[in-house]
Amino acid sequence: MPQSIAWRLQMWHAAILVSVVVGLCTAWFLQARRARLNEIDAELTSAARVLDGSLRGFDLRGFDTTERPLNELLAADDHLRLSLPRELADRRDNQPEPYFGIWLEDGRQLKSERLPEGFSLKPSQSQPEAPERDGPNAILREVRIVGPAGSLILVGRDIGSEIAELNRLALRIAAFAMLILAAGLCGGWWLARSVLRPIAAISDAASRFSAADMSPRINVVETESELGQLATILNDAFDRVERSFDQQRQFAADASHELRTPLAVIQSQIELALKRERTSEEYIKTLTTCSSASERLSDLVESLLTLARLDFSSQPTERVSVRVDLVAARCIDLMRPVAQQAEVNLRSELEPAIVSGDPKQIERVIFNLLKNSVAYNRPHGEAVLSVAIVDSSVELILRDNGIGISESDLAHVAERFYRADKARSRVHGGSGLGLSIAQGIIANHGGTMQIASQLDQGTTVTVHLPLASTLSDNHSNDRDASNPKGATTPHTTPLQAGQ
């Protein structure tokens, strides 16, 4: 048996359709047959009642057959005239005339007309008030009732014409049923193919979709149907996969470019130093340049590893209670020398707030945000970091009055390796991964980050993290029980500026 869904649907549809059509047509024919036979039985019963009424005026038990035969007595008595009703006796359309017979209680025949040849009555066949449904002959219909003085009245007629008419009706019903079945099966096959046609389109598009060619899409015709909705969802999934592959390709290209730069610096400095003898100062300068390039390379590799870990895991690797205000205070102390050199004033407005997460990752987020705020500020500018509890979340806001971000670049600043033409140039030494890492860490902690900025007016970064259930000082790594709530004692955990 074919295993396709179309054939299965067709077989089930055919089975149900055949059952329903055959059942309805059979019921139709049986009802028509029953109605016609009941009509004949009613006519015959009415005629038998007429004969019964004609017999009730006579004393049938007083007939004495010892002196004369019964037929001679009937012929001599002018008052006992038995005949069928005119409306039953007058048959039209060449239909056979009905027959009847009357028998006394002792089995003697009182009168009969047109009885079939070879007809014989068995006493066991008489059932008072119960018409017999089929006579001795298959096409004879008879009714027997008990008359006066225990007599038996039988009325019947040939129903061959009615049987032939019912047979013709059966043929018409069968033809009608076949027509319905043919139309239903054809319609069911067409409907099944129409319904399942989108599945073929989905299969075709999915089979052609590959890393080499991600352009195939499903042609969605009926978006209101379930399959249309499925096609829309799959098209969206294909779009996300294509965007992800494009981002991966772009990421690989950008990472290769970023890695090539410090490696090229190191290689060129070494080749230059090896061409001839150098003084000690020149060697020191070359090694210093190589060291700076190596540090940049190490910073970039560490950032790439962080992004890889964030992409691989949707949850932070460590879950402890983290005092965000203390982490923010430590990051400000670490960034203060850099800010003083850039002539940027750092201020903080910190309230005690605890989240559940990885303290090192949260520290990296705050440090990266502070680094960007200082790097892209202006001389004598200002950056203000605030931590507060708002509703059921910890709100961290960093405001600065630096050079800002243009509206066209604002939607892309969190993309990997993205740099705006002016504000994110390589002059500041960034790799373009800081905001991407921050956004990934915040998302893994169940938080959100929004960036609002206007060119030449400043930038505001707002971070929301879920608030821990209790404010507790029982956490690891950088917690000091002697510090009062809200203290901003600096911590000296080293953190590379590029991370």
Work out the number of other CB atoms within 10 angstroms of the CB of residue 306.
Answer: 18
pLDDT at 488: 36
Residue 357 identity: G
CA torsion sign for 376, 377, 379, 384 is negative
Give strand pairing partners of 141: 157
Q: In degrees to the nearest 10, what's the CA dihedral of 476, 477, 478, 483?
A: 50
Spatial separation of the C-alpha atoms in residues 143 and 131, rounded to whole Å: 4
pLDDT at 55: 82
How does pLDDT run across 377-416, given as a tens digit for each residue? Answer: 989 899 999 999 988 899 999 999 988 888 777 777 766 6
* DSSP per-residue codes, 238-257: HHHHHHHHHHHHHHHHHHHH
pLDDT at 88: 57
Query: Taking a C-beta distance cutoff of 8 angstroms, is the pair 331, 373 a contact?
Result: no
Three-state DSSP state, 341: helix
pLDDT band at 313 (very low <50, low <70, confident <90, very high): low
Region 192-201: mean pLDDT is: 74
Spatial separation of the C-alpha atoms in residues 72 and 310, rounded to whole Å: 123
pLDDT > 50? residue 497: no
Closest by CA to 301, choosing from 461, 166, 195, 431, is: 431
Spatial separation of the C-alpha atoms in residues 286 and 264, rounded to whole Å: 13
| Largest separation between any pair of C-alpha atoms in the chain | 172
Higher per-residue pLDDT: 304 or 345 = 345
pLDDT at 482: 33
How does pLDDT run across 274-289, given as a tens digit for each residue? Answer: 888 888 888 888 888 8
Region 15-39: mean pLDDT is: 92
* DSSP per-residue codes, 77-124: -TT------HHHHS--TTPPPPEEEEE-TTS-EEEEESPPTT----GG
Which residue's structure tokens are 């090229």?
A: 264
pLDDT at 389: 92
Spatial separation of the C-alpha atoms in residues 362 and 465, rounded to whole Å: 10
pLDDT at 236: 86
pLDDT at 475: 40
pLDDT > 70? residue 81: no
Spatial separation of the C-alpha atoms in residues 327 and 369, rounded to whole Å: 13
pLDDT at 463: 93
Mean of all residue pLDDT scores within the chain: 76
Taking the chain, what is the end-to-end CA distance rounded to the nearest angstrom? Answer: 64
How does pLDDT run across 109-126, given as a tens digit for each residue? Answer: 888 888 877 676 655 444
Token digits of residue 42:
């009613």
pLDDT band at 136 (very low <50, low <70, confident <90, very high): very low
pLDDT > 50? residue 423: no
Most confident range, picked from 255-259, 311-315, 454-458: 454-458
* Continuous H helices in 313-433: 324-341, 359-375, 407-410
Comparing 174-183, 203-212, 322-331, the range with the smallest average pLDDT is 203-212
pLDDT at 425: 47
189-195: long-range contacts (C-beta < 8 A, 24 or more apart)?
189/6, 189/10, 192/5, 192/6, 192/9, 192/10, 192/13, 193/6, 195/227
Three-state DSSP state, 386: strand
Spatial separation of the C-alpha atoms in residues 172 and 178, rounded to whole Å: 10
257-262: long-range contacts (C-beta < 8 A, 24 or more apart)?
258/300, 258/417, 258/431, 258/432, 259/297, 259/300, 259/301, 261/296, 262/293, 262/294, 262/296, 262/297, 262/300
Token digits of residue 303:
């950032």
How does pLDDT run across 169-195, given as a tens digit for each residue? Answer: 999 999 999 999 899 888 888 887 777
